[in-house]
Amino acid sequence: MKTRIGILTGGGDCPGLNAAIKSVVKSALNGMFSRRRETDFDVIGIRDGWKGLCESAINTEEMYKKYIMPLDEDLVRSWDLLGGTMLGTSRTNPFNPAGDRSALLLSNIEKLSIDCLVAIGGEDTLGVAQRLQRMGVRTVGIPKTIDRDLVGTDYTLGFESAVQVITEEVDRLRTTAGSHNRIFVVETMGRHSGWLALEGGESSGACVVLLPEHDFELERVNGILAKERSRGARHDIVVVAKGAKPKDKDHFVKSRDLDSFGHCTLGGIGEYLACEIQKGTGIETRSLSLSYLQRGGLPCAYDRRMGKYFGTAAVDLIVRGDFGKMVSYRNGRITAVPLEEVVGKINTVHVDTYYDTERYNGSRTLFLDEHMPGNAKG
């Protein structure tokens, strides 16, 4: 008798998802890995995230082909090289109060004889997995979000690839900014957590980086940029997370329509900031929102490796019967944490450690006080 694993990707797409899917399939099906197990596995992919399990009853061959993709080693052989997700994704919430579809979700899981579910996603996707675990469905989570805003793990799939995109796009902007003597404001993703803006800004050499965790003063931003010009700079880059905002102002909202998890769409801070910088400094300033470009393209080497490690760890949890957990990377080791410790919390930038609130950029004294020789406290 075989144990059936169902696997899905939820929320926004990003590089590294396919590497995790491939790793789950290979770890579950490859005979070299399964000799010491008491059960064999088969693996099915669920199309379009939770939508694939709660949009319609999967009770005909036509519905099965629409929502389910049987997975084997030959099919996924080169998936780790590809961006996005070959299973498709969505932001569907089966427990949305406006239209609860959890009964259909549970019915389809039973009809498909799914013994355990591997959910790859962020806080919303893993929140559904946690609720299912409480209802008796065995689940395992894999962390994915380019914002790196999940607690319980030092890394989430897609982050390094997104930072690489920011770095490359700013490199391109820098040449035109210098040619035209301009300032460019680059808006990145990051609703509540500024890791992407911070590390993308540091990697690309941005002059100013603005985060959701620390409201900024326009006068100080303009002062920093004006000082750079007085020193002879012909161009400057400002990186701002979409969730950042000036003091005494609300977040900039692109659309107030809520998704099924209750989130509105933020955006517009970059354009606003560019206008205010130009008015305050007299320097020509343009803005660019990187938006979905940050999610696109091929996975960097790090995301390919982490996808592999996370997928293997997920199957190890299933083999041990250790459900209701998310695999994670902490202190240099692959481990796991209970979903209940992850859901409902946000991993934000620790401003006192990683951010200079005077310079509006990454801290220049990171770790030095405690870890440099001769500087130990005590």
Q: Could you tell me if 120 and 183 lie in one domain?
A: no
Tally of structural domains, the chain:
2
Is residue 147 annotated as a catalytic residue, yes or no? yes
Q: Is residue 377 part of a domain?
A: no
Reply yes or no on whether the pLDDT at 18 is more than 80: yes
| 173 and 67 in a common domain | no
- For 56, the domain range is 2-157+299-341
199 & 241 share domain = yes
Say what the pLDDT of residue 326 is.
98
- With respect to residue 211, please indicate whether it lies within any of the assigned structural domains: yes
pLDDT band for position 249 (cuts 50, 70, 90): confident
Of residues 19 and 369, more confidence is placed in 19
Q: Are residue 136 and residue 23 in the same domain, yes or no?
A: yes
Q: How far apart are CA 28 and CA 51, in angstroms?
A: 24
- 358 assigned to some structural domain: no
Q: Which residues pair with 27 in a beta bridge?
A: none
202, part of any domain: yes
9 & 49 share domain: yes
Picking from 259, 274, 295, the residue at the C-terminal end of a domain is 295
pLDDT score of 377: 37
- Inside any domain, residue 262: yes
pLDDT in tens, 187-235: 999 999 999 999 999 999 999 999 999 999 999 999 999 999 999 888 9
Q: Residue 85 to residues 142, 151, 167, 241: CA-CA distances in angstroms?
A: 14, 23, 23, 25
Checking if the pLDDT of 76 tops 80, the result is yes
Residue 354 lies inside a defined structural domain of this protein:
no
Nearest CA among 269, 207, 277 for reference residue 244: 269
Query: Which has more confidence, 254 or 243?
Result: 243
Query: Which pLDDT tens digit goes with each residue over 276-323?
Result: 999 999 999 999 999 999 999 999 999 999 999 999 999 999 999 999
Backbone dihedral angles phi then psi of residue 202, each to the nearest 5 degrees: -65, -45
Mean pLDDT score of the chain:
92
Task: Tell me if 363 is assigned to some domain.
Answer: no
Q: Do 99 and 35 have their domain in common?
A: yes
Structure tokens at 111: 């009809």
pLDDT (mean) for 222-250: 92
Please provide residue 325's backbone torsions phi and psi, each rounded to the nearest 5 degrees: -125, 160
**Digit-coded pLDDT (tens) for 310-342:** 999 999 999 999 999 999 999 999 999 999 999
Selected catalytic residue, list 80, 147, 149, 236:
147
Per-residue pLDDT reduced to its tens digit, 59-75: 999 999 999 999 999 99
CATH number at residue 248: 3.40.50.460
Tell me, yes or no, whether 171 and 50 share the same domain: no
Are 323 and 285 found together in one domain? no
Distance CA 347, CA 350 (A): 9
**pLDDT surpasses 90 at 240:** yes
Per residue in 252-267, pLDDT tens?
776 666 555 666 667 7
Residue 118 sits in a domain whose CATH number is 3.40.50.450
Residues 196 and 209 in one domain: yes
Q: Are residues 139 and 170 in the same domain?
A: no
Structure tokens that stand for 16 in this block? 């590294």
Q: Is residue 56 part of a domain?
A: yes
DSSP 114: -
Report the candidate in 43, 11, 46 with the shortest Cα–Cα distance to residue 27.
43
Query: For residue 232, what pLDDT is reported?
Result: 87
Average pLDDT rounded to a whole number, residues 349-370: 84
Same structural domain, 190 and 291 = yes
Q: Which of 279, 295, 311 is the last residue of a domain?
A: 295
The band of 370, judged by pLDDT with boundaries at 50, 70 and 90, is: low
Give this prediction's pTM.
0.92
> Is the same domain home to 189 and 146?
no
- For residues 140 and 120, give the distance between their C-alpha atoms in angstroms, rounded to a whole number: 9
- The pLDDT > 70 percentage for the chain reads 92
The pLDDT of residue 41: 94
